[in-house]
């Protein structure tokens, strides 16, 4: 058992502990510690601990006094000339007096606390610690005396801060609570998920490989109202201490965050808040540099140079000095890597969805894979993806460290319905899939293009018989019974681009052998102009090809000579150019 002083002590211990594999994280809270413990039991336990403290380590002699000086405290076995000396009996009597004399004035009446840890006193946390420790020590000692050291070792990574308990790699800890603590205590598990738990101001989690990750947890993030917890520069606080708040919080974030992305996310949120309160970006930049110089050991494991850290946290907010050149018209594509590009290629669907097989989609996926590899992307293709896997893929992609990447791209080839796309076993909201890439969720993509290519229908009124007749007789079929998304559903976020295969309310055509018109045209343009033409200009070329050069050819009059019009929805703020990278840099 570990009694913690604060979360800093917990983080230091976790960093010094080399877990071979983390497989369980559990958090608990004592909800009745200050309201149900009988004073008689509290006095008895405290007296026992104090008596043990006055006994020498070998148990042969009792210390006579504890001497309390301004600079140190120590036990003595004989006489002492110090005026500040206390016997075992003195300490016990003082504590008993404290416990019996806690009063509260409420409504003009005086009430006495007759149960629970004394509230409202400076020593209350210490008394709670000593009281609970007496039970914890007894429990561990009983396991050892019974020859159950193997079981006692399961509690090696159990931590307690007053009434909050954390247990790591002991999934059955809850089964022992009644054996450890007194029956008056009510203990509730507060674990968030199977692999994560918040404890004090830390969020702890572990991944599928058993690696421990920590990040800062602040319950105020979930409040639906704003909180002013940092000084305004317009207040009477001198500016130097005010900017020192920025440094102190960076220290806190760095200690808590295993991942660089979590550190940057917190630092960016704080800088946004401070800038809105009148802080000057140049001085925040200077404070960030000061933090890096003085406390570099806290961020050394991120392996990130100062220049990049400044760019990631304050890069797009730094003020332009007089006479400095204006903002560039193009996105910075001089990073080491082009970026990650994900292809979701759904061909076959579970019978419960009632959806037809998307013949021809593999041809689309292969073309896309080749074209975006040519542009320097790290392409990852996933076929026939379930809703659970699709959600995880998008979350994992957002948590990927994009710091050395120019941009991010994703293509989804599937059926769709109003506001959603189909996984193989059901529908998912397009907004939910895109949300993890917003600036407040994915800091290493802030200020970088996030490109989404969506091949699916956007129509809400499809007669299934139309799909059957077109598919059976011509080799063409519509990609969906309904639509992918209303434009108003698109997240209002800069640096996103969505390229839909068709406008809202219309079908998206697909050939069973050649694939979709949309992807065919896109790949033709990328092959011819990928490294030469600006992206939106290329997509305009795709629009023209699909609009003018493709036309349905079926045996049914009502589906004969139909057209399709792709749709570009851009929140880009600069131009995008996929200029070739040096051969030794490209993945």
- For residues 376 and 444, the answer to whether their CB atoms sit within 8 Å is no
CA distances 392 to 76, 395, 432, 471, Å, are 62, 5, 11, 33
Q: Is 215 exposed, middle or buried (0-12, 13-18, 19+ CB in 10 A)?
A: buried
Residue 300: CB partners within 8 Å, gap ≥ 6? none
CA distances 199 to 4, 209, 298, Å, are 12, 22, 21
What is the chain's Cα-based Rg?
32
* Count of residues making up the chain: 587
Cα distance between residue 191 and residue 267, in whole Å: 26
Residue 358: CB partners within 8 Å, gap ≥ 6? 346, 347, 348, 413, 414, 415, 479, 510
Crossing angle for the helix pair 517-529 and 361-374, to the nearest 10 degrees: 20
Complete DSSP assignment for 335-384: SSEEEEEEEEE-----GGGTPPP-TTHHHHHHHHHHHHHHTT-EEEEEES
Exactly one of 405, 407, 410, 457 is catalytic; which is it? Answer: 457
> Which residues pair with residue 26 across a beta bridge?
167
Cα distance between residue 525 and residue 541, in whole Å: 7
Closest by Cα among 391, 315, 379 to 342: 379
The helix (run of H) or strand (run of E) holding residue 85 is strand 85-86
Exactly one of 415, 442, 459, 523 is catalytic; which is it? Answer: 415
Cα distance between residue 383 and residue 456, in whole Å: 16
Active site residue 486: no
Phi, psi of 257 (to 5 degrees): -100, 115
CA distances 250 to 7, 36, 214, 220, 247, Å, are 15, 40, 15, 18, 5
Cα distance between residue 233 and residue 276, in whole Å: 10
Active site residue 457: yes
DSSP 580: P
Q: Where are the alpha helices (DSSP H) in 208-295?
A: 239-256, 260-276, 281-294
- For residues 371 and 526, the answer to whether their CB atoms sit within 8 Å is yes
Which single residue is written with the structure tokens 């840099």?
585
Query: Residue 66 in 3-state DSSP?
Result: strand
Residue 1: CB partners within 8 Å, gap ≥ 6? 133, 136, 137, 140, 155, 158, 159, 160
DSSP 6: S
- For residues 366 and 385, the answer to whether their CB atoms sit within 8 Å is no
> Which residues pair with residue 425 across a beta bridge?
none
Phi, psi of 59 (to 5 degrees): 80, 5
Burial code (b: 16+ CB inside 10 Å, e: under 16) for 348-362 equals ebeeeeebbebbbbe
Which residue numbers are catalytic? Answer: 415, 457
């Amino acid at each position: 058992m570990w009694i913690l002083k604060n979360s800093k002590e917990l983080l230091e211990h976790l960093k010094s502990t080399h877990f071979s594999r983390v497989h369980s994280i559990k958090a608990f809270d004592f909800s009745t510690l200050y309201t149900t413990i009988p004073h008689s039991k509290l006095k008895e336990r405290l007296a026992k601990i104090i008596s043990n403290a006055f006994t020498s380590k070998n148990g042969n002699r009792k210390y006579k006094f504890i001497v309390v000086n301004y600079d140190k405290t120590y036990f003595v076995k004989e006489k002492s000339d110090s005026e500040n000396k206390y016997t075992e009996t003195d300490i016990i009597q003082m504590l008993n007096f404290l416990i019996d004399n806690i009063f509260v004035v409420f409504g003009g009446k005086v009430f006495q606390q007759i149960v629970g840890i004394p509230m409202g006193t400076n020593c209350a946390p210490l008394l709670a610690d000593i009281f609970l420790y007496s039970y914890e020590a007894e429990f561990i000692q009983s396991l050892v005396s019974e020859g159950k050291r193997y079981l006692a070792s399961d509690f090696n990574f159990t931590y307690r801060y007053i009434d909050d308990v954390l247990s790591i790699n002991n999934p059955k800890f809850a089964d022992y609570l009644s054996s450890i603590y007194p029956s008056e205590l009510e203990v509730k598990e507060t674990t968030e998920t199977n692999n994560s738990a918040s404890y004090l101001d830390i969020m702890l989690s572990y991944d599928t490989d058993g690696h421990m990750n920590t990040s800062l947890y602040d319950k105020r993030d979930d409040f639906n109202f704003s909180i002013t917890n940092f000084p305004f520069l317009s207040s009477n606080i001198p500016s130097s201490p005010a900017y020192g708040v920025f440094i102190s919080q960076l220290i806190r974030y760095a200690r808590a965050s295993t991942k660089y992305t979590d550190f940057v996310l917190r630092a960016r949120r704080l800088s946004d808040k401070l800038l809105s309160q009148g802080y000057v970006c140049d001085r925040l930049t200077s404070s960030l540099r000061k933090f890096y110089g003085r406390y570099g050991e806290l961020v050394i494991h991120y392996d990130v140079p100062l220049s990049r850290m400044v760019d990631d946290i304050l890069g797009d907010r730094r003020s332009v000095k007089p006479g400095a050149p204006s903002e560039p018209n193009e996105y910075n594509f001089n990073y080491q890597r082009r970026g990650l590009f994900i292809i979701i290629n759904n061909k076959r669907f579970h019978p419960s969805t009632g959806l037809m097989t998307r013949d021809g989609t593999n041809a689309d996926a292969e073309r896309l894979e080749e074209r975006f590899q040519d542009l320097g992307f790290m392409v990852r293709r996933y076929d026939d993806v379930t809703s659970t896997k699709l959600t995880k893929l998008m979350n994992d992609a957002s948590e990927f460290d994009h710091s050395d990447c120019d941009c991010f791209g994703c293509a989804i080839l599937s059926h769709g319905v109003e506001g959603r796309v189909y996984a193989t076993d059901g529908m998912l909201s397009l907004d939910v899939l895109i949300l993890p890439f917003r600036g407040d969720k994915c800091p290493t993509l802030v200020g970088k293009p996030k490109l989404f290519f969506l091949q699916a229908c956007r129509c809400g009124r499809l007669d299934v018989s139309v799909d059957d007749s077109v598919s059976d007789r011509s080799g063409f079929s519509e990609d969906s019974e309904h639509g992918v998304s209303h434009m108003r559903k698109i997240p209002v976020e800069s640096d996103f681009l969505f390229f839909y295969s068709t406008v809202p309310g219309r079908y998206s055509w697909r050939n069973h052998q050649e694939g979709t018109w949309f992807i065919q045209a896109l790949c033709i343009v990328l092959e011819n102009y990928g490294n030469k033409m600006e992206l939106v200009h290329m997509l305009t070329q795709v629009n023209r090809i699909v609009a003018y050069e493709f036309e349905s050819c079926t045996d049914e009059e009502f589906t004969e000579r139909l057209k399709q019009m792709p749709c570009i929805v851009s929140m880009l703020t600069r131009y995008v150019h996929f200029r070739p990278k040096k051969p030794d840099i490209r993945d």
